[in-house]
Amino acid sequence: MSASAKDAIQSILARRDVRTDGARPWDLRIFDERFYARVLAGGSLAFGESYMDGWWESGQVDETIARIIRDDPSRDLGVPWSVAAQALYARVFNPQDASSAFRNGQAHYDIGNDLYRAMLDPRMVYTCAYWKDAQDLASAQEAKLDLVCRKIGLKPGDRILDIGCGWGSFLKFAAERYGAEGVGITVAEEQVKLGRELCAKLPIEIRLQDYRDVREEFDHVVSLGMFEHVGRKNYRTYMQAAARCLKGGGLFLLHTIGTRNSGTRFDPWMDTYIFPHATLPSMKEIGAAAEGSFVIEDWHNFGPDYDLTLMAWRENFERAWSRLKGYDERFRRMWNYYLMASAGSFRARSNQLWQIVLSKEGVPGGYVSVR
């Protein structure tokens, strides 16, 4: 390890009020001096991998990450060749095309229903909760599901398409509380298996299907936490598919993580270990994709709620760890880093959480926002 690498990394961290020898919860404790050269060469990918390998720790990783990314560290570290190659690949090819979508989705969502059952709320909602009037994860997730139902004006007998339905949590809630019915589609086989069990005896169909292949009309369309997997080359195709499936007087609710700048690269560590080929859209990119297909009726940002949601998931995960089988200690550190780094990104307001209500021709007289 060269002194220059150590000095460079310590200087970068110090400008963000993080020290490698401090006693504050967000300061780093370095256990392997090779950390400095590794991170200087490999950027955020190496930072996360060195955490997985036990080379560093902090008392509050989520706050460490929040402090680092408030002032984009890539400006100091540059872009490693592997990350640049990944960005070039995404520009030239379409890593979220129909032939790749199932592989990308299954890499994350099929790793184990036992893990997700332990980590999530009783309804197994794997998207941002709505904490406005809630005190715990279960009530915050029910509040989010109810918020979606109210935003689309759901009525008994309405038929809904849920694009990226997960284990069917939204459709199950909509059927039980609002008397709705619907179809949920996902590209993850394990989600289909468990989703069909959880939604048994309800007027809900869970399908292993890509959004590009749906050719039916529904009263409403929702998509909660799936747009991040669509990819920039497919945004317009996705919007056109949603419009094709939506009846003229219906509403489409898009719930997605977003970023401030168009063309933003997805974090290379997250791409490698958690969400292969995911991308975060900007407001401009969503607007451009919706142009010609939809009128944007409402745009609601409650990104800070994802910080609370992720930390609640992390608490559940740690509480359940001793009961989970088939996962090693490196996986535990990886999963903890995923949850805490993600929480830090929302705390820093680097990432946003948007719920967008869209109509095909505009709501007569105007849409009344629901919060």
pLDDT of residue 106: 76
pLDDT of residue 105: 73
First to last CA, the chain: 53
Count Cα atoms within 13 angstroms, Cβ side, for 140.
22
How far from 186 is each of 41, 59, 150, 195, CA to CA, in Å?
A: 38, 37, 24, 10
Q: What is the CA radius of gyration of the chain?
A: 21
CB atoms within 10 A of CB 284: 12
pLDDT of residue 238: 98
- pLDDT per position as a tens digit, 164-217: 999 999 999 999 999 999 999 999 999 999 999 999 999 999 999 999 999 999
pLDDT of residue 2: 61
pTM score above 0.85: yes
Q: What angle do CA 104, 143, 363 make, to 5 degrees?
A: 85
Looking at residues 262-275, what average pLDDT do you find?
A: 92
Assess contact for 300 and 369: CB atoms under 8 A: yes
pLDDT of residue 92: 47
Which of 3.40.50.150, 3.30.420.110, 3.65.10.10, 3.20.20.70 would CATH assign to domain 96-337+349-359? 3.40.50.150
Q: Distance (Å, rounded) from C-alpha 274 to C-alpha 108?
A: 6
> Closest Cα to residue 211, out of 158, 261, 244, 163?
163
Domain boundaries, the chain: 3-78, 96-337+349-359
